[in-house]
Copies of this chain bind each other. A is one copy, B any other.
Amino acid sequence: MSQTPDSAVRAYIEQHGAAFLDDLAEWLRIPSVSAQPEHDADVRRSADWLAAELARTGFPTAEVWETPGAPAVFAEWPAGDPEAPTVLVYGHHDVQPAAREDGWDSDPFEPVVRENRLYARGAADDKGQVFFHTLGVRAHLAATGRTAPAVHLKLLVEGEEESGSPHFRALVEEHADRLAADVVIVSDTGMWSEDTPTVCTGMRGLVECGIVLHGPDQDIHSGAFGGAVPNPATVVARLVAALHDEHARVAIPGFYDGVVELDAHERRLWAELPFDEEGWLREAHSHATEGETGHTTLERVWARPTAEVNGIGGGYQGPGSKTIVPSSAMVKLSFRLVAGQEPDHIEKAVRAWATERIPAGIRAEITFLPATRPCLTPLDHPALQSLVRAMGRAFEGPVRFTRSGGSGPAADLQDVLGAPVLFLGISVPSDGWHAPNEKVELDLLLKGVETSAYLWGDLAENWRRAP
């Protein structure tokens, strides 16, 4: 099979790398903090800047799309071949809040390079990772002599990811026709480490449940009435205690229905990852591992569904004491789902399980937030194979597989567009997402450019989209 000549790609990147970094720095100077209303104009400026930059890159279409919140950017570059697959790249142009006094060694919105790392808010999450596609597609064209990419290339770069993407699904639904794609490439993730390039093959889904239990109509005296009426704080605790069985499996009937089990092959691949449990615990700020019997830590967070208490409360939580039976108590539960689990089914199961545990005299309000579905691409999916090959060429070595335990708006793209989701990210755990001194490794950033440059040709050549 013919490939884009790697040396030509590298030469192009070498030649244009400095200008590419200058442009990225210009974008990073715009403090597009979506969570802070005082930066609303900056988020808009960031969208405008990116649309203009994508037009300069050569995208025939580059538009700012309005939402009820912050604007997104859409760009499209049709392939020369109308039969070529359509790829939608997802990223976001908004960033987390940052202030020098939070512990930054330099101004978070004045990018600076130290020891071959570019420090700035958004350097890794996510402007850097969106931006490598711009030089990537140009390197792809230059090295292959094409005037249009080998795939129909679309970009959707949202402006509210750091605020929970409140309008993202509606945006995707509204523009589903223009966003239609055969595969979605999410560039908002990371890889295992500097030395271990990896491709993430899935994220978990998320069902979030709030339960409020009402007992006495007001707090009542625990001496006068305690021991003789139901206590909603006790009931909520019993609910939580009943969430798991003695193997740390979720004890809600029907919870595991449909779960796609991890196969022996992928399990073995994960076991070969250079996993350092001590280091992982440090990253988790935790002091012990525990979880579902029969699974490793990585399996627990990547491949197993979970039930977790995010918050619990009721009665008096201040200093000293207050001898009451509290009037109410609440718990916030979140369930991470894996492929094969249906949020609707989980919600029904949770509601039934909780409802039957509420004793007489306690009234329960059980509510659910909008759910996120899991997404998982099988290791043998041809598009995933293309991504692995492209990354392998860029990194000149084997590419391994990971998953993400988290949940993200990528699932909305999968749901609405009906396309598999692949994850192409070059960030590493030390990049400091959401933390002071966020940075991106320049070598890895250029590997991202290179991967992007190889990917479109490989996809067009080796994968025919599903009929």
Residues of A within 8 A of B (CB): 204, 206, 208, 210, 215-218, 220-231, 233-234, 236-244, 248, 281, 284-292, 297, 300-301, 304, 306, 308-317, 320-327, 329-332, 334, 336, 359-363, 369, 404-407
Contacts and interface: CB of A to CB of B under 8 A. Distances in A.
A310 B301 contact: no
Contact of A321 (B226, B238, B322, B369): B369
Closest 6 CB pairs of A and B: A288-B361, A223-B406, A227-B306, A241-B241, A237-B240, A311-B315
Given A323-B208, A332-B316, A310 B228 contact: no
B334 A226 contact: yes
B227 A292 contact: yes
8 contacts: A218-B285, A225-B405, A228-B291, A287-B362, A309-B315, A311-B315, A311-B324, A321-B334
Contacts of A292: 227
Given A309-B233, A316-B332, A286 B222 contact: no
B234 A301 contact: no
Contact of A304 (B227, B317, B407): B227
A248 to B, nearest CB: 8
A113 to B, nearest CB: 29
Interface centre among A225, A231, A301, A362 (most CB of B within 10 A): A225
A408 to B, nearest CB: 9
A312 B233 CA distance: 7
A301 B227 contact: yes
A315 B290 CA distance: 19
Nearest to A300: B228
Given A223-B301, A308-B323, 15 more contacts: A208-B323, A222-B308, A222-B310, A229-B281, A229-B286, A230-B288, A233-B310, A233-B312, A236-B312, A240-B241, A241-B242, A285-B327, A290-B361, A311-B314, A323-B334
Contacts of A324: 310-311
A418 to B, nearest CB: 24
B336 A220 contact: no
Contacts of A363: 287
A309 B216 contact: no
A286 B361 contact: yes
Given A286-B220, A288-B361, A317-B311, A301 B237 contact: no
B237 A308 contact: no
